[in-house]
Amino acid sequence: MNFNDMTSYELLEMFSQLQSHSSFDRKAPTWTPRLLKIKEILDYFQIKYVTKHYVVNGFEDRYFTNFYISFGMENDNEGILFLAHHDINNEISENCQDNTSSVCHILEMIKTLKDKPLSRPVHFALVDSEEHVNLYCCGSQVLSEDIHNGSFGKLDICINLELTGLGEHIWASTFEKYPDVCDKYIKMLDANKVSTPFNDAYVLAIHDVPSMCIGILDDKDIKVASENTGYPYIWALCHSMEDTFDKISKEDMHVFQNKLINLI
């Protein structure tokens, strides 16, 4: 397959048609159809990546997998790391908002940046087992260990992508222990501060890694999230059969992708 001209939106359409295994399937193979597709895309663009397999308590019959990609490591400036969880809760859902749209944004960023000169290191992590909601045994916890071990050099911040398929407004969920660096990126993104459910940025923050979570919402939902007056409709799609490709916006994903690139 030719991936050269595929945007995050077009990659998402492809992934939405690919049935894979739930993060809770104890008998799933290490290389699920979803992981094989991610690997196929990275190999197609001849991207160097690190594959990190690990075991989750209670799921000893299978391995879980993180992918790490780094560009610009020859530069001594503080780097930025983008991450998204690639695992899914419901194997028969299309899982477009949660969280395949974010995976596809990262894959498009990798394609865009792979041959560009960079003023600082840029890293990407596609992490597993977020759906288990376990602070001490998940892909972002494994990532935090690798960050502290120096695998990514000096980092300014980690930016976690969640629910990034529909919406004109960027939201950001941050943590009190990292106000200065988070406020800097909120200003760059012109983002709305919101509170969110569990996500990988929270895991990283618990493990002393500067982090924030960002996504997009439409006019109605950003008001609900910003004012904390209810639960946004788009977030309620998570894990459901209603999380389908027809609800995704090509234009919104394009605008958001450009916002991400501008952070670099």
pLDDT tens string 175-205: 989 999 999 999 999 999 999 999 999 999 9
Q: Are 103 and 130 in contact (CB under 8 A)?
A: no
Triad 155, 111, 114: Cα angle to 5°: 60
> C-alpha angle 213/69/116, rounded to 5°?
100
pLDDT score recorded for residue 176? 85
Provide the Cα torsion 261, 256, 22, 65; round to 10°: 10
* pLDDT recorded at residue 239: 97
Secondary structure of residue 68 in the 3-state scheme: strand
Hey, what's the torsion of the CAs at 132, 134, 137, 139, to 10 degrees?
60
Give me the average pLDDT of each 10-residue run along the chain (264 residues). Answer: 94 98 96 98 98 95 97 94 98 98 98 96 98 96 98 98 98 93 97 96 97 98 95 96 98 98 96
Q: Which fold has domain 8-262?
A: Aminopeptidase (3.40.630)
